[in-house]
Amino acid sequence: MTAFEVRALQEFACACFKNAGVDHEDADWTANVLMTAEARGKSTHGVSRLSDYVKALLRGKINSSPHREILQTSPVSTLVQGDNGLGPPAAREGMISAMKAAFQYGVGVSTVQSGNHVGILACYTELAADEGLVGMAFTNAQPAIPPSGGKRAFFGTNPMALAAGMGNHRVSIDMATSTVARGNIIMAAKRGDSIPEGWAIDAEGHDTTDPNLALLGAVLPMAGAKGYALALGVDVLSGVLSGAQFGNQVGSIYDRDTEPAGTGMFFMALDPAFFVGRKVFVERMTQLARNLTQSPKASGVERIYLPGQRAREVEVARRMHGVFINAQLMDELNGLSETLGVPLLNRIEGTPSV
């Protein structure tokens, strides 16, 4: 494996997007989202997605020069028309729009239509938490999960996220409604690895440990029927309510055609100033966090983490010491470098391979 500084990979990703026709602001934010995931140990949503994003841009699957519109539908609600551009910039517009309304009215909601894959949702909910708000985010995705009793993928992994609180007492929940993120199966297929039993079924509805058969079949919902119900709920908010594609109509950046994915999103921001008050909210979040992390631990457990806490600690370490890129992914990055004329610099020299 080869070690790279996170900053260097982010600069490389930004340059790749710009050379694929994306303006600087959108390129910079999308690169930031990918590399935040990489730094937090969420490699399935990190640098491994770069090549797929760029390929979709180059073949017109993703619009490199979208004309996004933000429609104010009420004092507290907006609709963002993403024009099939990169998902992260449209998602950022959605969350910021919701935040603006929350500051003024206590609550703000925003939907996004004609979007694409957005990366980790924590990047958006934490925008709200950074400003003392409570942020929530939902997005649908290409079919991956079967309904209870079904054998065909119908809903996406349809993640949901919530962030609130500051510093060491921040709670940042970000999870798919599937047993595992589909990106883990994509990564396993790229590496030639098998996947654990219970992750997925093949196209005929049979359990499989072959990631390639799983990608032709479906990822299983988390907690059985409960995960299926949550995936449906996410699609109601992000797909049906927004006017975007929903259910098995949602496309994918991986499809070889040029039809837009039509991904939908839903964002909400709440200002504690309109409820218990910001000062009291911070105090109560701090108390909740302390009570939770200091609760009795099971045998062999050294520490109880808040959701998102472990990922933030990993991020600090990786931004300091770098991240490792495997040989297969290095081939993809070198291919992008050659195709787009972007040098891949600042490898951390002297770091031993692992």
Where does 67-178+221-308 sit in CATH, by number? 3.30.1370.60
Catalytic residue among 45, 67, 117, 169: 117
Quickly list H helices, 180-277.
182-191, 211-216, 225-235
All CATH 1.10.1530.10 domain ranges of the chain, comma separated, are: 1-58+322-354
Mean pLDDT of the chain: 94
Specify whether 117 is catalytic. yes
Query: pLDDT digits over 235-267, tens only?
Result: 999 999 999 999 999 999 888 888 999 999 999
**Overall average pLDDT of the 37-59 stretch:** 96
- CA-CA distance, 186 to 41, in Å (whole number)? 16
| Confidence (pTM) | 0.93
Query: pLDDT digits over 94-126, tens only?
Result: 999 999 999 999 999 999 999 999 999 999 999
Q: What's the CATH architecture for 1-58+322-354?
A: Orthogonal Bundle (1.10)
Q: Quickly tell me which residue has 């958006």 as its tokens.
A: 124
Closest CA to 81 of 251, 262, 261: 262
**Of 12-16, 170-174, 327-331, the least confident:** 327-331
Query: pLDDT digits over 309-349, tens only?
Result: 999 999 999 999 999 999 989 999 999 999 999 998 777 75
Closest CA to 252 of 112, 56, 121: 56
- CA-CA distance, 95 to 88, in Å (whole number)? 11
pLDDT given for residue 347 in this prediction? 73
- CA-CA distance, 165 to 71, in Å (whole number)? 29
- Residue 154 — pLDDT band, cuts 50, 70, 90? very high
All CATH 3.30.1370.60 domain ranges of the chain, comma separated, are: 67-178+221-308
